[in-house]
Every structure is written in C-alpha cells, then in structure tokens.
Amino acid sequence: MKGRSTYKHSSRLFLLILVGALALIGALILQPTPEDDPATITDKQLLEMRPLVRQTPPHSRADDCRECHRHNHDTWHASYHRTMTQLVTPATAVADFGNRRINMPGVNETFLLHRRKGQPWVTFDREITAFPINKLKRREFPLLLSTGSHHLQYFWAPSGGKRTMAQLPVVYLFEAKRWIPVNASFINPPDTSAHGTGSTWNESCVKCHATFPVIAPTGGFLEYDTTVAEFGIACESCHGPGQAHIQLHRDSSTDESRMVDPIVNPARLPPKLSAQVCGGCHSVYDQNSWQPHRPGEPFAQNRRTRTRASMLESINNARDHTSPAETEKATLELDNWFWPDGMSRVTGREYNNLTESACHTKGGMTCLHCHQMHQQKDDPRPVSEWANDQLRHQTSGDQSCLACHESTEYATIEHTHHTRESSGSRCNNCHMPHTSYGLLQAIRTHTITSPNAHVSKSTGRPTACNLCHLDRTLGWTADQLEKWYKQSKPTLDSPDYETSQVVRTLLEGDAAQRALTVWAISWEPATAAAGRTWSAPYAALLLKDPYPAVRFMAARSLRSLPGFAGFEYDFLQAADKLEIASEAALALWSTDTNRPTNAIPSLLLGPGGQLDQQRLNQHYARRNDREIVIAE
C-alpha cells in the first residue's frame, strides 16, 4: 500500500509539472509580439528597429577596401556621399538636441528634442498620428537614421512597422543653425502639412541614399523589412559588389593574370555605361519597378530614365482610362520635374540633362570629365573644399571644355564678346547656367547648351545672359545674340523690351522661377555686371511670398546687399509679421543714399529712382500662382 501511495503521489507530481510546462510553453508561444503589445517594447528593442546592414556575399564593406586603397577610402570617407545616410549617434547628430522645444508654424505637433545617454530622442506632447504608421502607440522615439550632412540633416524614427522609419517633421538647416519644418526645406504648396506626405525612409530615401538596398515590403501598410549592404553611398555603389575582387587579390595561389577581376572602374567604362553609374541615382527614372542598378551593366527596363516626352506619352496613352481632371493634373505635374522643353529643373537629376547634351551623345563626355569621387593626391585644395562639389582640380575652370574645344577659337573675345578675365568668358556661366533648383539654392544645369532667346521666350527659363545681366531685357539679349551669333530673334511683346527678364520672372514666375531669380541677385558675377543697389525691393517683396523656401532665399539675398547685413527677419513668422518685415525692408531701401536716383525703366524705377508702383502691380498681377512641387 505504501508503494502504491508513493506511486500515485509521484504520478500526480509528474502531471502537475507536465501541465505547468505545457502552460509555460503555451504562454511563450502565445506571448504578444511588440506589434501586438506596444507596452512590451523596451528602449533596447526600439534601438534595434531600424534597417539592417547585410553581411552576406557578394557584398563587402568600405572598410575592407581601405587595406589596399587607403587614399581613395580616406577621401571617400571625407565626402558627403558617405554621409547621405548615417546611423544617428552622439557624433553624427550635428543638429541641436539640447532640450529644444518645437512649436512652430507649419508643424502640426509639439515636441521636445533631447538626448538620452547621448542618443537623440523626440518626445511628443501626445500620442501622435503624424507618422505614416505608429503601431508603437507611444510618444517617445529614438532617432535612429539621418539623411543629409551638407546643407540639411533629416531624422528618422521607428514607426513600429517592421524596420520602417518615419520622418521627424522638422529638419536641421546648417546655414541658419536652426530647426525648420520639413515642408519649408522644399518648394511645396504653402498649405502642405509637415506630415502630409507620410514619408518613410524605406520609400523616399533608401533607393539612392544607401548601397544596394533590399526594401522587401511585408504586406502591411507602409511596412518594409529593409536591409542594405551599407548606409550611405559607399564603394560598391560605384564599383559593384566587392567580395570576389577582395578574394581574388588576397588569395596568394591565384594567378591574377589569368583571372577576370569583377570590380568595376567607372573611369574605364564606355561613356554611356560610365555615365549610368551616376545616373543610377542622379536621374528621373521609373519608380514602379525599381531595382538597384549594378555598375557596369546597362540600364534595364526597370531602371529606364523618364523624360518629359516619355511621361507625357504615358499620360496620353492612359487618357481613355482617366478623367479629364486627372489627365490635366498629371500634365501639370510634369512642370515639377521639367521645363517645358524637357530640361530637368531640379537638382540631383543631372544624368537626364547630360544625356540631352551633344557633349555626351556625340563627344563621349561623362560625369568624370568634371567630377571625381576621390580627390587626387596632388590636389592642393583642402579636402573639405574638394568635397563641396567634388570637381576635378585640373578642370574646375574652362579646362574641361577646352580639352575638346579649341582654345584659339573659343577662349577668345571674338567668341565670348567679354574680356578674358570677365565671368562672361567662363564656359559654364554661358553654357551651364543656374537654372535647376534644389537644397534652397540655384544649381547649374547639366544640359550643355548655348543662350537662346527663342527657348527662353517659350519656356520661361531665363537665359544665361539675363542671369548675369539682371538689369537687361530679353529683347536686349535677343538683339545681342543676333548681332554676335546671327541667331534669329523670336517674336517678342512690349514687356520683353521694356522690363528686365529677371524682374519679370521675380514678379510673374512660379515659385521655382522666383526662387532661382531671387538667388541670382546675390550671385557675385551677376552683381558685378548689374549692380547691387537696385534689387532690394524685389527681395523685400518676396519676404512675404506664400512659399517658405522662397522667403528664406529672398532673405539670404537681401542680407547680401549693402545696408541689409543685419536685417532682422524670420521667414517662419505669421503672415502679418511677414508683411511688416517686407514693408520695413522696402522703407530701408528707400532711404539708402546709395540706391539709384535716376530713372531705370527696365528695373521699374521711375523719376528719382522711385519704384514705378503701377508697372510693378501690372507685372505682379500676372504672377503664376499654380501649386508647384519641385521633386527633389
């Protein structure tokens, strides 16, 4: 009996242990995931909810290249390509996170930017709906990735959708050393919400701001399980996967003379393929079937560039399946990318413009004729100066053009009609004027053309002549081009002969045109040619422009003019204060003893140098107020 009792007790104990074990296993199996129970997410888990770097063949890391290519690695490391995307650390977060409270116009949320153990964090005043998805249902987020390091720095936080990063609604502007709404850093319609685009890093940045990304949608709304070969634009972006190259040169038993090195050197590729290495990112391309471009290979169909003509053809082909309103809207949106003649009007899309140039199609010119990804060892410039635009030292002036175009013909007064020392004799000022926009400044076009009054009249794009001679009319330019180069004159109207082309664009142009021309009034070659004492009223007028980016550029140009260096103005002020600031700037100019005191009709200055308000209002009434988005 005693043995049977002991047996029953043991059996009961075994069953209890078994039931408990099964319950524990069930609990573990059924334990809520972080997405099911946001309260279970720890700070450590949050820090891990970012895209991952893959450590798998055929890819290698940039640091692996340093062993044999130290100079190239070091100069790349000093470039802004490397820092296009970075992990946010106390060292990489240049922006101000010193308990900065954000409560500004254009941002729908109020929040605190601060550091926790050195790591930048954001704490919102309430549970937000600002992020495209916020499965975490929380108010505090670590900032894990940043994009940009040259002019602006954008930040991204985990949204809870796998490894999907949502954008902080403010961006740090280095030039002004301040936070501004994301919307204010782009040319967007004025009433666009700072969160209106629902931007995620995995959609909007990863394709060009990281190396060989795999985006991997998960099926959830705006959810991506993203991995990259490396953050930023690293060695493999231009040279292709590097592991086989490294193994080839490390294996002492390999007869290298008999092996084909798989690494790509863009400088040794045929011109078309060489340019496509850069064009993989620096182009307008079809986003619908995007895949990473492998250097050295021709663009595939899913990587074909888009032109204004090809996009217009697609719109027309779909006309039978879309409403007239949708067709009209899609057609108007082409102006967000291109000028009416097809030239790209936005920076970062230089490949499109290069491939429209005879220098490329007939002369074999590539990006590397002017730019270099690694600073030359004999370049005397500081690496920071080289990194600004990565121009080759030997070709930073006219030399890149004169390598093909005979200097005895083109580097002459007979050709340029300017003295040799004049900025009007610089090839790029005439043939690559600042007619693209991006990063709150004007950028040189990479379509290499000659000034043409017909094109300017039909597109509204100022000629190179007028972007330097700001005080001159389009009619004057047409007369000069006919006289100098036998170019026929277009049919012009009275204002084309009466009012400066740049003044007309400042008053009548769309937001992007206004931004380009207000930038020009602070450009040194232009102020040398046209003067600096007449333009303040036009910058003052744009201090109250509906577009924040235009206002910012107007204030920058205004402060470059005599007497305005210390002018106090905040481009994010309320509309009534913007109006007051505009009037104050105009009043300050009117009392300036250095301003013109004679009539200059082309600049709308009447007797005594006073503004001809009637003519100004006539031009202003024709302003192009359509909504425009420059798709940087």
Is pLDDT of 261 > 80?
yes
- pLDDT in the model for residue 2: 45
Buried b (16+ CB within 10 A) or exposed e, 126-164: eebebbbbbbbebebbbbbbbbbbebbbbbbbbbbbbbb
Burial class (CB in 10 A: 0-12, 13-18, 19+), 312: middle
| Whole-number percent of the chain with pLDDT over 90 | 75
Residue 309 has pLDDT above 90, yes or no: yes
Displacement of CA 38 from its chain's centroid (Å): 35
pLDDT value at residue 486: 97
Point out which residues pair with 140 in neighbouring strands: 123
What are φ and ψ of residue 380, in 5° steps? -75, -10
CA angle 271, 277, 280 (to 5 degrees): 130
pLDDT attached to residue 13: 46
Output the pLDDT for position 22.
42
Nearby residues of 496 by Cβ (< 8 Å), 6 or more positions away? 457, 473, 474, 475, 478
pLDDT at 18: 47
> Cα(491)–Cα(477) distance, rounded to whole angstroms?
13
Q: Is the pLDDT of residue 226 over 60?
A: yes
pLDDT of residue 292: 86
Q: Is residue 85 classed exposed, middle or buried when 0-12, 13-18 and 19+ CB atoms within 10 A define those classes?
A: buried
- Is the pLDDT at 286 greater than 90, yes or no? no
Q: Is the pLDDT of residue 546 over 90?
A: yes
CB-based burial of residue 551 (10 Å sphere; 0-12 exposed, 13-18 middle, 19+ buried)? buried
- The pLDDT value given to residue 113: 97
Tell me the three state secondary structure of residue 162.
Answer: strand
* 37: pLDDT strictly greater than 90: no
Mean predicted confidence (pLDDT) in 136-164: 90
Torsion of CA 13, 16, 21, 24, to 10 degrees: -140
Task: List, in order, residues 6 or more apart from 505 with CB less than 8 Å away.
Answer: 460, 462, 513, 514, 516, 517
230 or 253, higher pLDDT: 230
Report pLDDT digits (tens) over 7-24: 444 555 444 444 454 444
DSSP E strands, 163-307:
165-167, 170-173, 178-181, 210-211, 227-228, 230-231
Cα separation of 294 and 115, whole Å? 39
- Assess contact for 292 and 234: CB atoms under 8 A: no
pLDDT tens digits along 598-627: 999 999 999 999 999 999 999 999 999 999
| Whole-number pLDDT of residue 193 | 53
**pLDDT over threshold 50, residue 314:** yes
Long-range contacts of 380-388 (CB under 8 A, 24+ apart): 383/75, 383/78, 384/78, 386/75, 387/78, 387/79, 387/80, 388/150
Can you tell me the mean pLDDT for 287-303? 84
Number of CB atoms found within 10 A of residue 318's CB: 12
Contact 113, 140 (CB under 8 A): no
Answer for the pair 226, 215: CB distance below 8 angstroms, yes or no.
Answer: yes
Amino acid in the structure at residue 390: Q
**Long-range interactions of 493-498: CB distance < 8 A, separation 24+:** 495/619, 496/457, 497/473, 498/473, 498/601, 498/602
Q: Give CA–CA dist 46/145, Å, rounded.
A: 12
For the segment 306-314, the average pLDDT, to the nearest whole number, is: 94
Residue 179 DSSP SS3: strand
Name the one residue in this structure whose structure tokens are 């040619």. 529
Predicted local distance difference test score (pLDDT) of residue 26: 41
Q: Which residue shows structure tokens 């008999």? A: 258
Q: Is the pLDDT of residue 97 over 80?
A: yes
As a whole number of angstroms, the distance between CA 395 and CA 464 comes to 21
- Is the pLDDT at 133 greater than 70, yes or no? no
Segment (H or E) for 152 = strand 152-158
Q: What is the pLDDT of residue 393?
A: 87
Per residue in 104-115, pLDDT tens? 988 888 999 999
Work out the pLDDT band at 297, boundaries 50, 70, 90: very high
pLDDT at residue 427, rounded to an integer: 95
* Residue 507 three-state SS: helix
pLDDT at 123 exceeding the cut of 90: yes
> Cα angle at 114 between 204 and 145, to 5 degrees?
25
Cα separations in angstroms, 108 against 123, 145, 155, 193: 14, 22, 17, 7
In tens, the pLDDT along 69-85 reads 999 999 999 999 999 99
Task: Give CA separation, 287 vs 81, 86, 166, 284, in Å.
Answer: 22, 24, 20, 9
Question: What does the pLDDT look like over 445-454, one tens digit per residue?
Answer: 999 999 999 9
- The packing angle between helices 511-520 and 548-559, to 10°, is 10
Q: CB neighbours (10 Å) of residue 30?
A: 8
How many CB atoms neighbour CB 590 within 10 A? 13
Cα dihedral sign for 74, 75, 80, 85?
Answer: negative
**Alpha-carbon distance values, 588 to 69, 471, 559, 613 (Å):** 57, 21, 12, 17
In this prediction, residue 138 carries a pLDDT of 81
| Confidence band of 290 (pLDDT split at 50, 70, 90) | confident
- Per-chain mean pLDDT for the chain: 89
